[in-house]
Amino acid sequence: MRIALAQLNYHVGNFPQNSARIIDAIGKAKLEGADLVVFSELSVCGYYPNDLLERLEFIRESLAAIEKIAAICDGIAALVGGPSINPSPKGKMLFNSAFFLQDGAIKSIHSKTLLPTYDVFDEYRHFESNKEFNLIELKGCRIAVTICEDLWFNQKVMNSFGRENLYATSPMEENCRQYPDLVINLSASPFSYHQERLRKDILVENAVKYKVPIIYVNQVGAQTELIFDGGSVMVDKHGKVVKELAYFIEDFAVVDTSDQELNEIQPLTETSDRIYQALVLGISDYFRKSGFRKATLGLSGGIDSALTLVLAVRALGAENVKVLLMPSQYSSDHSVNDAVTLANKLGIDYETIPIHGITNEFEKSLASIFRGLPADLTEENIQARVRGSLLMAFSNKFGCIVLNTSNKSEAAVGYGTLYGDMNGGLSVLGDLYKTEVYQLSRFINKYEEIIPENTILKPPSAELRPDQKDSDSLPDYELLDAILFQYIDQARSVQDLIESGFEEAVVRKVVSLVNQNEYKRFQAPPTLRVSSKAFGFGRKMPIVARYPL
């Protein structure tokens, strides 16, 4: 049987556009002689619609779109993802489903059993878990339909309670009792550089364990924080990858289930390359799907703003990015020169607005209130907030989105100013620790110096007071990031960190900073997710709480 894998980029709630793309792919599959074309999870409405699923008009539009798509399935069948209504008077109103379309109609509906409710996922909020397992018969082939997490029954989650199985029911076990010839999985699996290898391993393990080939179709593109990298694949019953589609771009291929000799896989790339592609895609789709074209940011001469600018230019084009240079009396000449050099190298427009006079006016206005008190963090924050106000004014006047340049290390310990350098419509680097920012910057400079070498080599500094360095307030970033990764990404306890060899005083200081600054992160812009534990939807902690130490 010939099966088309349609790896497309969807837009949540954009039923006309999503339907048109699906219909075009069905037409292409038909021309190439496919018997079946497979799309990704919730493809008709886009993944993930969140509480739009609670609106009846949204569900009606989704079902109408599926009926429209079914009508053109003449001489070809399709598997399309979308919400379906639960006919039972008990349980949630909806299922997360795959619709089998054939002969101009919906022939059957196959729903998701394992509903993830961890990290960025909250599917049980809206969907009922499937309890029925029925195969499709097409051209003499018995097909089991699964949806994303349904293949992850053996997944274990590391937490402070130990390793635990998440689920009690195995959809693969249930389906394979009916002896399918093929398993198809419709997926919306977001990119994470920590878990991308695991995803392919899960597919191979299932194929080998149940001795059945698996076709996995993932979506591509970004939806706010989530970035979907594609990489759709067919694995034979021996665990060999027969066909692998491209990553981070739309792709389409027709595979023949009888062709056991094919072995077309994507070339291996380094982690920094994949993170780079993910962030460029994340920025591009955030703007395109939000209806914006232009971006701005504050270019300081530091590594974070430099890297953010390079990514923005690659995503949006130099003509759509304009930056502000906002030096203060504490800004070093080499920082200003580095910023100008980078702007010229990338071919972007920039404006220079010195902030010394503006901050002086603030301080004059506050002088009578602050009389007799020494200068401290307050005056530093005024500088950051002046810059934030200038960027927001520029944004309003010229219709651009401000890109936030803070990294994950800074966000973790609160090393940022609310309504100042934490401003922005999108956090580009908010899921990269500072050490990872350096790694990605070096990757960008691998073949040509784009980011000035001085920007990468100089000690990091906020330049808000004379001779300031980040190390005045924080541990060295190599040490800080090692502690943060284990505490945040791996959920290890303070005692675990101390027993693993970190100095107790440093651990307690870092962890206290993380816990004390939850209120800041709650007000931060959405963060492009590239790890398995990003701030935002992926890590939900109380703002007001007494954290264990």
pLDDT digits (tens, 9 = 90+) for 309-365: 999 999 999 999 999 999 999 888 888 999 999 999 999 999 999 999 999 999 999
Three-state secondary structure call for residue 546:
coil
- pLDDT beyond 90 at 260: no
> How many CB atoms within 10 Å of residue 88?
10
Two tokens at 354?
A: 């010195």
Q: What is the mean pLDDT of residues 240-255?
A: 96
Lowest mean pLDDT among 33-37, 160-164, 372-376, 422-426: 160-164
Which of 459 and 237 is assigned the larger pLDDT? 237
pLDDT band at 167 (very low <50, low <70, confident <90, very high): confident
- pLDDT beyond 80 at 165: no
pLDDT band at 87 (very low <50, low <70, confident <90, very high): very high
Q: What is the pLDDT of residue 157?
A: 57
Domain ranges of the chain: 2-268, 286-522
Please list the alpha-helical segments (H only) found in 38-186.
Answer: 56-71, 171-176
DSSP-derived pairing of the beta strands 241-244 and 233-235: antiparallel
Q: What is the pLDDT of residue 155?
A: 65
Side-chain half-sphere CA neighbours of 510 within 13 A: 27
Cα–Cα distance list, 191 to 1, 197, 246, 426 (Å): 30, 11, 13, 18
- pLDDT beyond 90 at 477: yes
Q: Report how far residue 4's alpha carbon sits from residue 215's, in angstroms, rounded to the nearest whole number.
A: 10
Q: What is the pLDDT of residue 466?
A: 85
Q: What is the mean pLDDT of residues 496-508?
A: 97
Q: What is the mean pLDDT of residues 7-35?
A: 98
Q: What is the mean pLDDT of residues 458-467?
A: 84
Is the bond into 48 cis (omega within 30 degrees of 0)? Answer: yes
- pLDDT beyond 50 at 163: no
Percent of the chain with pLDDT over 70: 98
Q: Report how far residue 157's alpha carbon sits from residue 118's, in angstroms, rounded to the nearest whole number.
A: 9
* Positions marked active-site: 41, 112, 148
Which of 405 and 537 is assigned the larger pLDDT? 405
Burial of 166 (0-12, 13-18, 19+ CB in 10 A): middle
Query: pTM of the full predicted structure?
Result: 0.95
Q: What is the pLDDT of residue 272?
A: 96
Lowest mean pLDDT among 123-137, 147-161, 290-304, 392-406: 147-161
Q: Report how far residue 385's alpha carbon sits from residue 392's, in angstroms, rounded to the nearest whole number.
A: 10
* CATH number assigned to the domain covering 2-268: 3.60.110.10
Lowest mean pLDDT among 90-99, 304-313, 332-341: 332-341
- pLDDT beyond 70 at 108: yes
| Average model confidence (pLDDT) across the chain | 94
Lowest mean pLDDT among 160-174, 202-216, 432-446, 467-481: 160-174
Report whether 242 contacts 262 (CB < 8 A). yes
Q: How many helices (H) and strands (E) are present in the chain, helices listed first?
A: 16, 21
List the Cα angle 243/249/254 in 5-degree steps.
35
pLDDT band at 470 (very low <50, low <70, confident <90, very high): confident
* CATH 1.10.1740.10, domain 286-522, yes or no: no
Q: What is the pLDDT of residue 198?
A: 86
List the Cα angle 516/522/525 in 5-degree steps.
130
Q: What is the pLDDT of residue 261?
A: 74
Burial of 396 (0-12, 13-18, 19+ CB in 10 A): exposed
Lowest mean pLDDT among 66-75, 235-244, 261-270, 426-435: 261-270
- pLDDT beyond 50 at 263: yes
- pLDDT beyond 70 at 429: yes
